[in-house]
Chain A
Amino acid sequence: MNMHKDNMTNTKNTNLIDDSVISDPVMEEQIARGISDLLNNRAQHLKPELEQRLSAARNAAVNHLAEQQAQYSTANQVAGHGHVLRWFGHAGQNFEQHRVASTALIVVVMLLTFFAVQQFGSTHNLENSDAFLLASDLPPEAYADKGFDAWIESN
């Protein structure tokens, strides 16, 4: 029991000492920087096999970026040789990179255009027939009467 009490007192004392040591934010910062410096120093001395693997990983990442950029510039060159998409500037390059999406987008635009033209055409026809009926000497009911055509032909 006494031992336990002693331990508790010791722990309390240790905490007090440490709290007083780093109660100052400047001191806290200093200790943290000191620890970081030591860790940094440690990190500079890795085993050769670890260094090798890190180097290989780095090279793979850098090569990947180089390949990506080469593809990107190839796409730009394609767009640069009279390709229609270059008119869209940067958006045109995006079209090149996302071919499936751009194809779908073009199909949708074409369908919309087709339906718009159809709609416009039927509206135009209706307008023409209305104008004809209104400008005609005969009343519109005459054209709906089936006997009227037969009477015109017989006379």
Chain B
Amino acid sequence: MATPKELSDFLIAIERRAFKQTAYAVRDDHAALDIVQDAMMKLAEKYGERPATEFPMLFQRILQNTMRDFWRRQKVRNLWTTLLSSFGSNDADGEDRDPLETIDVEDDADEPSAQLARSQTIQLIERALEKLPARQREAFVLRYWEEMDVAETAKIMGCSDGSVKTHCSRAVHALALELKKQGLDKLGLSNAVFDKK
């Protein structure tokens, strides 16, 4: 059985990543926070008696399911909104705002030019990641960002190992293509990574 300290350490380690992953998927910081909070609570409530080594996989599964629930609810809400708005006035006050506008630029103490280049690269990647189909993004995030192996990723996504590999490969191709379109080749990416370290 995991202790509260183990749970706390685990959550500290993953909470920021979990938030960003969710934010890329749902494109709304507040919704992302709610989803992460829900996932944390479910982990403590339902799986608190499990050993801490099982937490990463359990948490990711809960997080993905909570996101799916959110999308389902969102779909129903959108349907009602569409139906109701057809009867009401159509004064769209910023409904279609670009979520990327809300992304803040980090304030590193590096050289301004390097900082700007890195910040732009990250923004491009974030934008490209948001554009990915949900399954590809999920596979990419779990496999490369969460550093899970193919089998674990497949288990969480509920698909075969082959599908995970296909999704990952397509995601990387799509991201690379998007970066290339924006004038960032793999060298530019490598430099950005190198600069960060």
Contact B181 A39 (CB under 8 A): no
Proximity string of chain A (72-111) to chain B, C-beta cutoff 8 Å, 1 when within and 0 when not: 0000000000000000000000000000000000000000
Contact call A57/B33, Cβ cutoff below 8 A: yes
* A61 interfacial by beta-carbon distance below 8 Å: yes
Residues of chain A lying within 8 A (CB to CB) of residue B147: 36
Q: Is the CB of A58 within 8 A of B11?
A: yes
Q: Which chain A residues lie closer than 8 Å to B144 at the CB level? A: 32-33, 35-36
* Contact among A22, A30, A38 with B125 in the assembled complex (CB-CB below 8 Å): A38
- Contact flags (1/0) for B36-56 with A, using CB distance below 8 Å? 110011011100100000000
Q: How far does the alpha carbon of A64 sit from the alpha carbon of B127 in the complex, in Å?
A: 36
Q: Chain A 12-31 against B: per-residue CB contact (8 Å), 1 yes, 0 no?
A: 00110111011000011011
Given contacts A32-B172, A54-B33, A58-B11, contact A42 B126 (CB under 8 A): yes
Q: Is chain B's binding surface mostly helix, strand, loop or mixed?
A: helix
For chain B, the bracket of interface size reads 35 or more
Q: Which DSSP category, helix, strand, loop or mixed, fits chain A's interface? A: helix
Instruction: List residues of A whose CB falls within 8 A of some B CB.
Output: 14-15, 17-19, 21-22, 27-28, 30-47, 50-51, 53-54, 57-58, 60-66, 68-69
Given contacts A18-B173, A32-B175, A43-B17, 5 further A-B contacts (CB under 8 A): A32-B144, A50-B19, A57-B40, A61-B43, A65-B2
Interface residues of B (CB under 8 A from A): 1-2, 4, 7-8, 11-12, 15-17, 19-20, 29, 33, 36-37, 40-41, 43-45, 48, 104, 106, 118, 121-122, 125-126, 129, 140, 143-145, 147, 168-169, 172-173, 175-177, 180-181, 185-186, 189-190, 192-193, 196
